[in-house]
């Protein structure tokens, strides 16, 4: 594989990252594995003792697990849509971050569905979904959609990786034999011939075109699991687009945070430049405004119409004794904060944008909780139940343990993947820094040398 000097430079710079699995990587890997182990024990308890070990009961039939499911799947869709759009519109500054967006897509679409499986009472009967499928059920739509989407996004990432695998194969890296062999297999004989290039470009474009509408569809179908029921707070026509936007928004936040972490860890300032943070910050700000608009529409119509159950849910959400503070946090930290941080030039720095994005991601997780739990705590018939755990949902430690195990798995995959492929794609990379930035770099070097 031939690389131009800029690409060669990028490759040389990142080579150590994929050549050796350093002490830091080992530390984090073991740390994450320990978390996963705790989660594994919680799962063991849940399987052997039944779902009684969770906080879920007959009224609140879904809890943290489904919140995590929406959260991770949302991140995945965002990664796919962002990567797809950056690719299709040939955004040159987007080249270095496409890989990260795609990694995010794959990793969260692996982690997310695990959580919906945790909601299922009978693990041993999962095959029933395929031998007795019922097409009328939104759950079946979701199974089909997620599987299709999974295949699509794996292909999308893989096709984009082929050129890089060829680079790794030919670079004579100082790596174990199995890894060398794996690169060779994954590069499927790519040599950069004209016909190979053409096929690759066509398939990449096709997949990018397919993956965008697919993500929108899958995200809407996810929302319809809730939207199709006759429940206050769920039964809303806005839910499809609301979930699409929420997914994009939170995913954009995760992408910014991931960019910041890798920039610090692998010193990738030349590739994840300040400009990337600013641009993604702008995108995040627009999405925040959109998400705020949807949230407002949703709450405002419910409140103004003040139907019995709608207003019961709204009262729960805005009552400080129930979910009032969480609603405040979700909307201030999840909508206002990112807008302010990006809008004010003085705070528009990579560090602050990343912090705002991180807090926003947490707020959006809380927001998903506020979509799921208060509605389930508001059945149409009065509960008239004296068992406290049936009236109000409180997550138990196995649920939290599994949640953290999920996050640990998410981070573990990121760690492992960044040791297998370069975080910044090498082939097809273009000089993204402006002349102004390059000149500034040059100046800095000159300033340093006399001293």
Partner 1 sequence: MKQEEINDNNSRRDFLKTAAIATVATAACGSLACSCSSKQKTVPGDKVKLLSPDGEIVEIDSNYLNHQEHMAIVSKLEARQGIAGKKFVMVVDLARCKNARKCISACQKWHYRPEETEWLTVKLLKDSDKGAPYWFPKQCFHCDNPPCVKVCPVDATFKRQDGLVLIDNERCIGCKFCMAACPYSTRVFNWNEPEQPLDIRNLVYSPETGLPAKVGTVEKCDFCPDRAREGLLPPCVEACPNGVFYFGDENEDTVTNGDETVSFSQLIKDRAAYRYMEELGTKPRVYYLPPKDRQFPVERGYENLPENIKERFKDIMEEKKS
Provide the minimum distance between the beta carbon of 214 and partner 1 in the complex, in angstroms, as a whole number: 20
Q: Which is nearer to partner 1, 226 or 272 (CB)?
A: 226
Q: Which is nearer to partner 1, 133 or 351 (CB)?
A: 133
Q: Which is nearer to partner 1, 54 or 219 (CB)?
A: 54
Provide the minimum distance between the beta carbon of 377 and partner 1 in the complex, in angstroms, as a whole number: 11
Provide the minimum distance between the beta carbon of 330 and partner 1 in the complex, in angstroms, as a whole number: 22
Q: Which is nearer to partner 1, 127 or 445 (CB)?
A: 127
Residues binding partner 1 (CB under 8 A): 49-52, 56-59, 61-62, 119-122, 125-126, 128-129, 132-134, 136-140, 143, 225-226, 228-231, 376, 379-387
Provide the minimum distance between the beta carbon of 386 and partner 1 in the complex, in angstroms, as a whole number: 4
Provide the minimum distance between the beta carbon of 218 and partner 1 in the complex, in angstroms, as a whole number: 16
Identify the three-state secondary structure at position 175: coil
Sign, Cα dihedral of 372, 378, 383, 388? positive
Q: For residue 403, what are the CA distances in angstroms to 49, 85, 161, 200, 382?
A: 19, 31, 30, 38, 31
d(CA 61, CA 116): 12
d(CA 397, CA 197): 52
Q: Which is nearer to partner 1, 32 or 141 (CB)?
A: 141
Q: What tokens does 195 get?
A: 């016909």
Query: For residue 185, how many other CB atoms are within 10 A of its CB?
Result: 10
d(CA 377, CA 305): 20
Q: Which is nearer to partner 1, 229 or 438 (CB)?
A: 229
Q: What tokens does 226 get?
A: 């809730």
Q: Mind spelling out the 3-state secondary structure of 102-121?
A: HHHHHHHHHHHHHHHHHCCC
Q: Which is nearer to partner 1, 30 or 380 (CB)?
A: 380
- Name every residue whose Cβ is closer than 8 Å to that of residue 182 and which is 6 or more positions away in sequence: none
Provide the minimum distance between the beta carbon of 284 and partner 1 in the complex, in angstroms, as a whole number: 32
Provide the minimum distance between the beta carbon of 226 and partner 1 in the complex, in angstroms, as a whole number: 8
Identify the three-state secondary structure at position 392: coil
């Amino acid at each position: 594989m031939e690389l131009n000097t800029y690409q060669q430079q990028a490759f040389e710079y990142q080579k150590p990252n994929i050549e050796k699995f350093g002490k830091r990587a080992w530390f984090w890997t073991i740390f994450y594995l320990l978390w996963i182990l705790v989660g594994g024990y919680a799962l063991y308890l849940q399987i052997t003792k039944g779902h009684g070990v969770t906080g879920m009961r007959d009224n609140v039939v879904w809890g943290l697990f489904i919140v995590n499911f929406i959260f991770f799947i949302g991140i995945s869709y965002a990664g796919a849509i962002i990567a797809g759009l950056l690719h299709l519109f040939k955004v040159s500054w987007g080249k270095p971050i496409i890989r990260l967006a795609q990694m995010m897509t794959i990793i969260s679409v692996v982690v997310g569905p695990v959580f919906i499986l945790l909601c299922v009472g009978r693990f041993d009967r999962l095959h029933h979904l395929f031998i007795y499928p019922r097409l009328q059920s939104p759950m079946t739509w979701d199974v089909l959609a997620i599987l299709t989407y999974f295949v699509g996004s794996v292909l999308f990432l893989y096709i984009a990786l082929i050129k890089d695998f060829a680079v790794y194969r030919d670079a004579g890296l100082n790596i174990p034999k199995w890894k060398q062999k794996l690169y060779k297999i994954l590069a499927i004989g790519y040599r950069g011939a004209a016909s190979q290039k053409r096929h690759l470009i066509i398939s990449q474009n096709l997949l990018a075109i397919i993956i965008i509408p697919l993500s929108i569809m899958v995200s809407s179908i996810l929302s319809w699991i809730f939207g199709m029921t006759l429940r206050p707070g769920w039964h809303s026509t806005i839910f499809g687009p609301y979930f699409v936007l929420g997914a994009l928004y939170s995913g954009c936040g995760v992408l910014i945070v991931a960019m910041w972490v890798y920039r610090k860890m692998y010193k990738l300032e030349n590739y994840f430049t300040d400009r990337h943070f600013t641009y993604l910050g702008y995108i995040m700000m627009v999405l925040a405004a959109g998400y705020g608009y949807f949230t407002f529409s949703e709450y405002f119509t419910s409140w103004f119409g003040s139907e019995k159950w709608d207003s019961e849910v709204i009262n729960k959400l805005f009552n400080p004794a129930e979910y009032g503070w969480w609603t405040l946090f979700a909307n201030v930290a999840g909508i206002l904060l990112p807008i302010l941080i990006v809008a004010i030039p003085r705070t528009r720095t990579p560090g602050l944008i990343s912090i705002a994005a991180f807090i926003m991601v947490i707020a959006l997780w809380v927001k998903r909780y506020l979509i799921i739990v208060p509605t389930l705590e508001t059945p149409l018939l009065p509960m008239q139940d004296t068992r406290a755990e049936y009236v109000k949902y409180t997550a138990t430690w196995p649920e939290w343990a599994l949640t953290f195990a999920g996050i640990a798995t998410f981070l573990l995959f990121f760690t492992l993947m960044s040791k297998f492929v370069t975080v910044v794609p090498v082939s097809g990379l273009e000089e993204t820094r402006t002349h102004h930035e390059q000149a500034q770099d040059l100046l800095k070097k000159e300033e340093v040398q006399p001293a």
